Amino acid sequence: MRAKTKDWKRELDDLVDKTGKSLKDVCAYIDVKYRGYVGFYYKIPRKRKMLIGIGMAFRQDLGTINEWIMKYGDKKKLYSKDVLEDLVWIYLINSNYEDPDEKYNYFMLYDDCHDIIQKTYVELWNEYTYDGKETVDIDKELDCVGFDESFEGLRSFVVENMDSFRSAYSKPRKMLTSYVDAILDTFTRANDGDETPVNFLRGYLDDSMINYIVGGYEDINVIDMKSRDRSTNTKAVPKLKKTHIAICLALGMCADEIDRYLELMGYGSLDMEDSTEAALKEHLDKWEAAHSKTKAFKRKYIPGFSSASGRMPAKKTSLSMKEELQAVSDMLMLRTDMSYEFRKVGTAFPYMKE
């Protein structure tokens, strides 16, 4: 953590030199009182909004701000299909970066812009059928939306792309579904075709994990009209990186698979500068090396597993029903195994409810 703080302070010092803006100017931009001591200089902000505001004060581009969010905030990067929050930030960051005259404080325009887009989104949600674009296409088109004081350009963009916002987070959720299906299907085959219900996973997965996973992965932006949360079956998308890591562990994912899932979700991969994540990766690599049958099971039943780490696909290994059941049982016990390894050395394990 000390190394990250040094990197953070160095970045801020460089930006002060390059832009001529002082940390006092930054405080004024983000509406934080300046008392001679700038807290965000000595302690890395944990909230995405603060990192965004500091980046915008220095007129940084979206790529730089996303790097800050992942590296320093340990949060997921801004995602254009997250229309009720991130889309607005991306639009304002782009507008700020493209404005050489710095005519507006774009950071302070967030609430007004958000209110207009939320109203538009809620009004139009039920009128559209799903025929979405890829996120990369949404990103490119959003780059071309210019700023105007009434946000009509962004509002029109949302109207034109309503179908695409339904597919937000569909790829990482589809990945989770593939693991759930592979596990349950194995027990179904072992029980002569008697279907194994998802409730079988209770005890291995937390109730909140199951509630999140069982929602259809194409309906992530369904709106809870009370909270305005993007949700699936009224279960909001987890915001913390450690919560997503816990879900991956509960489904038997090792380090390469977790990194792939985190990338799809918009987070940075397991951080080797973070002592907990570095230790987790070390234990996972040892566990994977000791469970060759589990790796063979994944190659056989998990779509895309062979290419998860960029390695060439391995030849599929023939497994008996007994070996498949053992592989699945080992996957479901992975989180408990990792907890045990942490406890052995007296280290806190943040990926399991006590």
- Same domain membership, residue 151 and residue 40: no
Same domain, 211 and 339: yes
- Write out the residue range of the structural domain in which residue 154 sits: 78-167
Are residues 138 and 186 both part of a single domain? no
Residues shown for the chain: 354
Decide if 350 is inside a domain: no
pLDDT of residue 233: 40
Asked if residue 65 and residue 53 are part of one domain, the reply reads yes
Same domain, 300 and 185: yes
- Are both 87 and 66 inside the same structural domain? no
The last residue of one of the domains, among 42, 74, 106, is 74
Question: Would you say residue 283 lies in a domain?
Answer: yes
- The answer to whether residue 251 is domain-embedded is yes
Q: Quick check: 182 pLDDT over 50?
A: yes
Q: How far apart (Å, rounded) are the C-alpha atoms in residues 340 and 109?
A: 48
Q: Is residue 354 part of a domain?
A: no
Of 74, 109, 126, which marks where a domain is finished? 74
Q: How many domains does the chain have?
A: 3
Please check whether residue 147 lies inside any domain of the structure.
Answer: yes
Count H helices and E strands in the chain, helices first.
18, 3
Residues 26 and 38 in one domain: yes
- Residues 174 and 163 placed together within one structural domain of the fold: no
Q: Which of 49, 74, 99 is the last residue of a domain?
A: 74
Q: Which two tokens stand for residue 241?
A: 């990186």
At residue 12 the predicted structure's pLDDT band, cuts being 50, 70 and 90, is very high
Question: What are 106-151's pLDDT values in tens digits?
Answer: 999 999 999 999 888 877 765 655 556 778 888 888 988 989 888 9
Indicate if 195 and 321 belong to the same structural domain: yes
Q: What are phi and psi of 232, to 5 degrees?
A: -125, 120
In a domain, 352, yes or no: no
For 253, residues 6+ apart whose C-beta sits below 8 A from its C-beta are 179, 261, 334
* Nearest partner of 153 among 165, 141, 163, 164, judged by Cα: 141
Dihedrals phi, psi of 222, to nearest 5 degrees: -60, 135
**pTM confidence score:** 0.80
Look at residue 171 in the predicted model and tell me its pLDDT: 87
pLDDT computed for residue 228 by the predictor: 44
In a domain, 233, yes or no: yes
Residue (of 213, 217, 207) closest to 184 by Cα position:
213
Neighbours of 80 (CB within 10 A): 25
Q: What is the pLDDT of residues 31-58, one digit of tens each?
A: 999 888 899 999 999 899 999 999 999 9
Q: How confident is the model at residue 227 (pLDDT cuts 50, 70, 90)?
A: very low
- Is 353 contained in some domain? no
Is the domain of 298 the same as that of 215? yes
Same domain, 304 and 335: yes
Q: How confident is the model at residue 232 (pLDDT cuts 50, 70, 90)?
A: very low
Same domain for 186 and 311, yes or no, is yes
